[in-house]
Chain A
């Protein structure tokens, strides 16, 4: 009897532990939105958050708050940045001056399993005052369900529109009403390469598509391994890296109008313009010897380990990787170093950004479409309308709200009013890239219906890779067929 009890206990214990373990696993899965953003370089003293003069011109509630009108009140704010992550720590840090200025307590809750948790809270009538949202489609859902506070009535939208990169301002609108204020952006149109390896071999940074292909051929011809590090395995979000490639290329081979029509399904998913972009993409992905390990590697390798061969002993085995800046934390030995100490500043990483690994702009393809940039971004939306909540949202739209995080590194603001000299590498260059972009395209898969954007577009890319680029038309036709009707 006792023996059996122990077995039962052991089994139950195992299940409980497994449940806990499962939770951890799901929170660390690197989906597009939840990937750990590695901090950029931290230069102490570059900016000091508390000493900043707060420019409140045009933001009435913030003025009142600074005058102390709402002192003692509390605002609850949620975001997807995981507990104990450097992002959550940085956001907490960046919020401190607001409390000092206004006496309003900000209760920030980093939430694991964020999207479900927020949905449940909203459904249950316990929505936080402010919440971060990565996908505009989600904002539309909440707004159409009547859960969100419309901001246009009281928010100084003229000021916001003037202060912000227009593309991001417009994405906060639904039917000309402002619902979301963008806070943090991510640039995806960059390609990382090993600095020393390029220098040793006399490779130069390509500025056109033809140069990019010529460099790729050169690397193959030199017997230096494979030019490209590509992989898309990302647990239940397999394939999203490939969707970013498609979008970045489409912005370079088609007009912004076509890009937007593709998102809104005014043209079919497999429009000839899109298939043309797919051809460009397969030129890099499926040309023999271009991608390290071939299509099997692309599908079998986790996105955090994509670039491991770039750091192989005896020189890079793959040379170029297109990925947003967060990937720096996963380079070579950085992964282990940061696992041991999440607060390790970039200047102390084993593989250093800029000096060891640098990036170049993913080159334009057709001249007429200029130099577009593909980005994603996080916005804040408002569920409960109180003066102190308004004040915080207004403050989040000022450069001061970005200062703390910029100081810590790894932050790019959608505000053009943030002085460029606040930023350190790589965000100073990324900010210039965004400011100089002819078009800023928002991550299309985040804007499409989830059935496609987080469903068949992802799995279609996986199938396409599995087929080594064969049957492109059939696969894009299947994605088109899966577009939800009605």
Chain B
């Protein structure tokens, strides 16, 4: 770092300012050109429909990641053109202020606006609480809230339990990283992508047709044997996503599939961090493996478990894509976020939409607080 700064410091102030201006100019021109290329839908048309999308994605990626780096670099160059004392004073702000400004503009301002909107977007002369009384008496919203609660009770706990079990077991095998890679992979798939995949898993075709859904293919094949053996009268494909109330649990399975990887990776690292002498002491004291796991390892990594649990819980409360893609909220599977989308974009009903958003926010907040506190405690403890 010192070597990097030194040559610049040796420049005359005039040269430094010139350099700063040139760098800033180049960065802005490059960004402007890049954005213009992206804005024109026909730029990559020559590549054909598929390749043009890929080319566009690639440019967007380079521009997005490289652009941020370039902006920070440019800002850094500007302050380096200033006297040393000013540079040292300003440098932290160069990195903090944009972040704070972006969070303020894109997060805090809209959040405040949403909260205000939920009280003001009411029919003329109605009470400011109209949206809330309407929401909590609407059968559809109550159903959505109930479903959110089911998701919250099951998805994080299941993800953590499976992830923890896997982390503990995989700790003892040879090809640990390979096994972990398989469980981790779904995490790289977007929610929409995963939901589309699982639509095929749960797909239903009428009896007699080829079952293209994996689950029904297995179900019908196994059922067929049982019928042949005389153990079963008949077997019919199951429309999994229409089976109220089980369909909600089938959708939760998608979330668990997606999140187990996250739980496993973090908990696996935590398990490896448990002091060896602690485990050996327990072993010498005659503890069985199960006792050691539940009484020594789990309490030691409690902090990590809590972090993973709350992180997944927040993702679960906000769940939208999975339901929207698979059932569209039909068959009693709707959740608050889906209601919010429908009110906002289908009905143009801002009052109800903002109210849904506030309900979600209020539900997520306590979990966030637990999460942050826990992280802070861990930071102090370590």
Interface residues of A (CB under 8 A from B): 9-22, 25, 83-84, 116, 141, 235-236, 238-239, 292-293, 296-297, 299-300, 309, 449-451, 454-455, 459, 462-463, 466, 478, 482, 484, 486
B33-69 near A? 1/0 per residue, CB < 8 Å: 0000000010000000100010011001100110000
Residue pair A18, B206 in contact (C-beta under 8 Å): no
The count of A-to-B residue pairs whose CB atoms sit within 8 angstroms is 81
Looking at the assembled complex, report how far the CB atom of B175 sits from the nearest CB atom of chain A, in whole angstroms: 18
Interface members, chain B 3-33 (any A CB < 8 Å):
none
Residue pair B331, A296 in contact (C-beta under 8 Å): no
B242: which A residues are within 8 A, CB to CB?
A: 296, 299-300, 466
Residue of A with least CB distance to B203: A300
Known: A14-B188, A84-B49. 6 other contacts (CB 8 A): A15-B190, A19-B190, A20-B56, A21-B192, A449-B347, A478-B139
- For A238, give its contact among B123, B328, B346 (CB under 8 Å): B328
Residue of A with least CB distance to B324: A236
Chain A contact residues: over half helix, strand or loop, or mixed? helix
> What's the Cα separation between A313 and B361 when bound, in Å?
54
> What's the Cα separation between A450 and B352 when bound, in Å?
14
A451: which B residues are within 8 A, CB to CB?
A: 347, 349
Looking at the assembled complex, report how far the CB atom of B376 sits from the nearest CB atom of chain A, in whole angstroms: 25
Residue pair B188, A11 in contact (C-beta under 8 Å): yes
Residue pair B204, A238 in contact (C-beta under 8 Å): no
Residue pair B349, A14 in contact (C-beta under 8 Å): no
Residue pair A14, B189 in contact (C-beta under 8 Å): yes
B61: which A residues are within 8 A, CB to CB?
A: 9, 12-13, 16
B329 within 8 A of partner (CB): yes
Interface residues of B (CB under 8 A from A): 41, 49, 53, 56-57, 60-61, 64-65, 123, 139-140, 188-190, 192-193, 196, 204, 206, 239, 241-242, 244, 324, 328-331, 342, 345-349
**Which 5 pairs from chain A and chain B are nearest by CB?**
A18-B190, A293-B206, A450-B347, A16-B57, A462-B330
Residue pair A296, B346 in contact (C-beta under 8 Å): no
Looking at the assembled complex, report how far the CB atom of A359 sits from the nearest CB atom of chain B, in whole angstroms: 24
Residue pair A116, B345 in contact (C-beta under 8 Å): yes
Looking at the assembled complex, report how far the CB atom of A92 sits from the nearest CB atom of chain B, in whole angstroms: 15
Residue pair B330, A459 in contact (C-beta under 8 Å): yes
Looking at the assembled complex, report how far the CB atom of B157 sits from the nearest CB atom of chain A, in whole angstroms: 26
Given A451-B349, A455-B342, A455-B347: A235 and B328 interface contact (C-beta under 8 Å) = yes
Residue of B with least CB distance to A312: B209
Residue of A with least CB distance to B190: A18
> What's the Cα separation between A19 and B191 when bound, in Å?
11
> What's the Cα separation between A12 and B68 when bound, in Å?
14
Residue pair A21, B349 in contact (C-beta under 8 Å): no
> What's the Cα separation between A129 and B97 when bound, in Å?
42
B329: which A residues are within 8 A, CB to CB?
A: 459
A83: which B residues are within 8 A, CB to CB?
A: 41
Residue pair B123, A20 in contact (C-beta under 8 Å): no
Residue of B with least CB distance to A138: B348
B60: which A residues are within 8 A, CB to CB?
A: 16
Residue pair A236, B328 in contact (C-beta under 8 Å): yes
> What's the Cα separation between A12 and B62 when bound, in Å?
11
> What's the Cα separation between A83 and B345 when bound, in Å?
22
- For A466, give its contact among B192, B193, B331 (CB under 8 Å): B331
> What's the Cα separation between A482 and B137 when bound, in Å?
12
> What's the Cα separation between A374 and B140 when bound, in Å?
31
Looking at the assembled complex, report how far the CB atom of B222 sits from the nearest CB atom of chain A, in whole angstroms: 20
B345: which A residues are within 8 A, CB to CB?
A: 116
B140: which A residues are within 8 A, CB to CB?
A: 482
Residue pair B123, A486 in contact (C-beta under 8 Å): yes
Residue pair A14, B206 in contact (C-beta under 8 Å): no
- For A296, give its contact among B196, B204, B347 (CB under 8 Å): B204
Residue pair B348, A450 in contact (C-beta under 8 Å): yes
Which of A15, A84, A236, A482 has its CB near the most chain B CB atoms (within 10 A)? Answer: A236
> What's the Cα separation between A83 and B60 when bound, in Å?
21
Which of A12, A84, A300 has its CB near the most chain B CB atoms (within 10 A)? Answer: A300
Looking at the assembled complex, report how far the CB atom of A338 sits from the nearest CB atom of chain B, in whole angstroms: 16
Which of B56, B57, B206 has its CB near the most chain A CB atoms (within 10 A)? Answer: B206
- For A454, give its contact among B190, B192, B346 (CB under 8 Å): B346
A486: which B residues are within 8 A, CB to CB?
A: 123
Looking at the assembled complex, report how far the CB atom of B276 sits from the nearest CB atom of chain A, in whole angstroms: 26
> What's the Cα separation between A236 and B328 when bound, in Å?
5
Residue of A with least CB distance to B139: A478
14 contacts between A and B (CB under 8 A): A12-B64, A16-B60, A19-B190, A20-B53, A22-B192, A83-B41, A450-B347, A454-B347, A455-B346, A459-B330, A462-B331, A466-B242, A466-B331, A482-B140
Residue pair A300, B204 in contact (C-beta under 8 Å): yes
B330: which A residues are within 8 A, CB to CB?
A: 238-239, 299, 459, 462-463, 466
Residue pair A10, B239 in contact (C-beta under 8 Å): no
A462: which B residues are within 8 A, CB to CB?
A: 330-331
B347: which A residues are within 8 A, CB to CB?
A: 449-451, 454-455
B56: which A residues are within 8 A, CB to CB?
A: 20
> What's the Cα separation between A482 and B352 when bound, in Å?
13
> What's the Cα separation between A165 and B145 when bound, in Å?
48
Residue of B with least CB distance to A23: B53
Residue pair A450, B346 in contact (C-beta under 8 Å): yes
A478: which B residues are within 8 A, CB to CB?
A: 139
> What's the Cα separation between A292 and B205 when bound, in Å?
11
> What's the Cα separation between A483 and B165 when bound, in Å?
50
> What's the Cα separation between A178 and B190 when bound, in Å?
47
Given A20-B57, A300-B239, A454-B347: A14 and B65 interface contact (C-beta under 8 Å) = no
> What's the Cα separation between A289 and B168 when bound, in Å?
54
Which of A16, A17, A116, A449 has its CB near the most chain B CB atoms (within 10 A)? Answer: A16
Looking at the assembled complex, report how far the CB atom of A89 sits from the nearest CB atom of chain B, in whole angstroms: 15
B342: which A residues are within 8 A, CB to CB?
A: 455
Looking at the assembled complex, report how far the CB atom of A140 sits from the nearest CB atom of chain B, in whole angstroms: 12
Residue pair B244, A14 in contact (C-beta under 8 Å): no
A292: which B residues are within 8 A, CB to CB?
A: 206
- For B57, give its contact among A17, A141, A296 (CB under 8 Å): A17
Looking at the assembled complex, report how far the CB atom of B341 sits from the nearest CB atom of chain A, in whole angstroms: 9
> What's the Cα separation between A394 and B128 when bound, in Å?
47
A454: which B residues are within 8 A, CB to CB?
A: 346-347
Looking at the assembled complex, report how far the CB atom of B12 sits from the nearest CB atom of chain A, in whole angstroms: 37
B192: which A residues are within 8 A, CB to CB?
A: 18, 21-22, 25
> What's the Cα separation between A293 and B329 when bound, in Å?
23
> What's the Cα separation between A459 and B331 when bound, in Å?
9
- For A18, give its contact among B49, B193, B349 (CB under 8 Å): B193
Looking at the assembled complex, report how far the CB atom of B317 sits from the nearest CB atom of chain A, in whole angstroms: 21
B239: which A residues are within 8 A, CB to CB?
A: 296, 299-300
> What's the Cα separation between A296 and B236 when bound, in Å?
12
Looking at the assembled complex, report how far the CB atom of A42 sits from the nearest CB atom of chain B, in whole angstroms: 24
> What's the Cα separation between A169 and B348 when bound, in Å?
27
A13: which B residues are within 8 A, CB to CB?
A: 57, 61
> What's the Cα separation between A300 and B65 when bound, in Å?
42
A482: which B residues are within 8 A, CB to CB?
A: 140
B188: which A residues are within 8 A, CB to CB?
A: 10-11, 14
